[in-house]
Chain A
Amino acid sequence: MDIKYGLAATFNSAKDLYDAAGKIREEGFTNWECYTPIPVHGLDAQMGVGRSKVPCFTLAGGVTGFFTGMLIVWYMNSFDYPLIVGGKPYFSPIFPFPVYYELTILFAAFGTLFGMFFLNRLPQHNHPTFEHPHFGRTGDDKFMIVIEVEDPKFDDEETQDFLKKVGGKSVTMIREPID
């Protein structure tokens, strides 16, 4: 058994792909992706993809880390077991600052890493596009665009014609096997 995943179209050059991506964006598709063997500058903007949301996770992690550090110091040094060290106050923003700072960095790094995993839906051990017989060539000399069936504007016939019209070669339906 298998289900339809999306329509794939290949392109021979970065320029062809770039132009096609602009047309697809203008047409209003949302669930689609470009696969290229090399980085193509400006493709994000051409596809209408916004900035990554990872920094939000980084900031949230950093703020959490900062206050976690404060809480640890306050709880241990000032609340649970008050202890005078070096004539300094039980709790102060100054002498234990390295603790706040290190936890800010640590939690910000966790936020970045796990935020990236979360947004990219990782770990993901397989992807339906791998079913395409020539998908490997997008790591070599081919450029590919895949429009998913999930896309609200998707229509078997029309999308196929549209991909051909924007210059896509060998438009094929990718089928995702299910048990």
Chain B
Amino acid sequence: MSSAESTENKFDLSTKLLGGSFLGLGIGLIGLVTGLSSGEKEPFIGWLWGCAFWLSIAIGMLMLVMIFRVFNSQWTPVVRRQLEHGLAAFPWLALCFAPLLLIALFGGENSGILWSWVNPESPTYAPPHLHNEEVSTVGDDVLHQKKSGYLNIYFFSFRLILYFGIFCGLSHWMRKVSFTQDKDGDPNWTHLGLKISAAGIPAAALALTFGAFDLFMSLEYQWFSTMYGVWFFASGIRAALAVTIIGCLYLSTKGSLKGLYKQAHQYDLACLSLAFTVFWAYVSFSQYFLIYSANIPEETFWYTIREINPNTGERSGWFWVSMGLIFGHFFFPFLYLLFYRNKIVGPRLIFIVCWILVFHLLDLYWNIIPGREINPGAFIGYEARGVWGTHLFWGLATLVGAGCLCAWAVLRSFQSKVAEDIPIRDPRILDSINYHE
């Protein structure tokens, strides 16, 4: 293949991705507009789910880059460079989340369509002893009044901008210190990267924790869990590692990492995947375990609507999703990744990381989609949103659209020649390319 032809092919892929993002996000936006006029929540919650998947991956990558920097370990530079390209997606992710914030800010009577607490007029659930024929509103709810110092639209908007500012700023600096070192070879960039990471890890950890609280947990603002941010972190790292392994394995067979990405790197990435599989299960189970043991209605409803139809007590479709997560997102990958051969044989590892990505998507679906829809006629005062619904369609469209947009941004970073294939002047680069199990 001539070089001109290969450039043309790359151009094609880039254009296709951009087209895919316009198509997917366009469909999603049509959903948002129709949802805004009809008052349906489905397109919004679908949009949030579709974008959350890519956000979790990008946040996982950012944390990994900073963790690699801080640990200053010998094997990471070859892998780190690929992740740094991945960070190019952050500004575009901010753009993806912008419509949700804009609607919360300027949506008028529908401003509380996604996050019901945004609008004091939104109907909300009140416990039976507070029932008085009329539907309760957020404004009357003492649980919101007590939280309104935190959960109000102005502070919320400020925080969202701050979170994305932290993510974009740290990604910019992580890329800059690494890419500039390629050119001038100054070891001080390594020291600077270390310092930024040391400060950046707590900053990004707080941003992702409160980001998960604000974006996902506040969908049911009466519910709360301090484990939620840790859950999001663990999920993000798992997904980021999966994408990293797929990307590095692809580049080592077809592209720039041939002979540079070795079995030892793959083994370590797979071991991290195993570790974070256990960590994800630990955090997710702890959250369930504490709520189950305490058995307080304000908390247990969140799991109840993920298991049964609260009005009839029968198992709903969410029960099977929950079971799927326990066995498919933990037990199977955990047992599979225990075996050495499954970690080093390329196709076997690709299989399980794709599996993890699919279940990560399902995990986000399980966390974001179920919710209480206030219905005064229902036995318990609300209906639980089902597994199937138009939110799935709108969500998948947004998922594809936002994914294509992120992939386009990352591909652009790879092709822009701002950096070498590996950080050739990193002080650790020789250790990294000669890394041995």
Give the B-binding residues of A (Cβ under 8 A).
Answer: 41-42, 51, 55, 59, 86-88, 94-95, 97
Interface contact B340-A42, CB-CB below 8 Å: no
Q: Which of A59, A86, A87, A97 contacts B289 (CB 8 A)?
A: A97
Assess whether B285 is interfacial by the CB under 8 Å rule: yes
Find B292's partner among A51, A59, A95 (CB 8 Å cutoff).
Answer: A95
A95 touches B436 (CB 8 A): no
A95 CB contacts on chain B under 8 angstroms: 289, 292-293
Interface 1/0 per residue, B407-424 and A, CB below 8 Å: 000000000000000000
Let me know if A55 and B340 touch, CB within 8 A: yes
Q: A86 contacts B340, CB within 8 Å?
A: no
Q: Are A94 and B338 in contact (CB under 8 A)?
A: no
Cross-interface CB contact of B285 among A42, A55, A88, A97, cutoff 8 Å: A97
Whether B289 contacts A94 by the Cβ 8 Å rule is yes
- A87 x B295 contact (CB < 8 A): yes
Q: Which 6 A-B pairs have the closest CB atoms?
A: A41-B436, A94-B292, A51-B340, A95-B293, A97-B289, A94-B289
- Give A55 to B288 CA distance when docked, in angstroms: 31
Smallest CB separation, B435 vs chain A (Å): 10
- The distance from the CB of B380 to the nearest CB of chain A, in whole angstroms, is 20
- 12 A-B interface contacts by CB (under 8 A): A41-B436, A51-B340, A55-B338, A55-B340, A59-B338, A86-B295, A88-B293, A94-B288, A94-B289, A95-B289, A95-B292, A95-B293
User: What is the bound-complex CA distance between A97 and B340, given in angstroms?
Assistant: 27
Size band of the B side of the interface?
A: under 10
Chain B residue nearest to A94 (CB atoms) is: B292
Shortest B377–chain A CB gap in Å is 31
**Which A residues lie within 8 Å of B436 (CB)?**
41-42
Chain A residue at minimum C-beta to C-beta distance from B341: A51
Given A51-B340, A88-B293, A94-B292; 7 other pairs, CB 8 A cutoff: A41-B436, A55-B338, A55-B340, A59-B338, A86-B295, A87-B295, A95-B293
Interface residue ranges of B302-342 to A (CB < 8 Å): 338, 340
A42 to B338, CA, bound (A): 23
B308 to chain A, nearest CB (A): 16
Q: How far is the CB of B399 from chain A (nearest CB, A)?
A: 32
**Inter-chain contacts of A51 with B (CB < 8 A):** 340
Q: How far is the CB of A108 from chain B (nearest CB, A)?
A: 11
Q: Which of B279-309 contact A (CB under 8 A)?
A: 285, 288-289, 292-293, 295
A41 to B289, CA, bound (A): 45
Contacts of A41 in B (CB 8 A): 436
How distant is A137 from chain B, measured CB to nearest CB, in Å? Answer: 26
Return chain B residues, CB-CB under 8 Å to A55: 338, 340
Q: Complex Cα distance A118/B214, Å?
A: 53
A42 to chain B, nearest CB (A): 7
Neighbouring A residues of B340 by C-beta, 8 Å: 51, 55
Complex Cα spacing A59 to B337, Å: 12
Which chain A residues border B285 with CB–CB below 8 Å? 97
Residue of B nearest to A93 (CB): B326
- In the complex, what residue of chain A is closest to B282 when comparing beta carbons? A101
Which residues of chain A are near B289, meaning CB under 8 Å? 94-95, 97
Tell me the complex Cα distance, A51–B340, Å: 9
Residues of B contacting A87 in the complex (Cβ-Cβ under 8 angstroms): 295
- A86 with B338, Cβ < 8 A, contacts A41-B436, A42-B436, A97-B285 known: no
Give B293's nearest chain A residue, CB to CB: A95
Minimum C-beta distance from A62 to chain B (A): 9
Instruction: Report the nearest A residue to B435, measured CB to CB.
Output: A41
CA A51 – CA B344 in complex, angstroms?
13
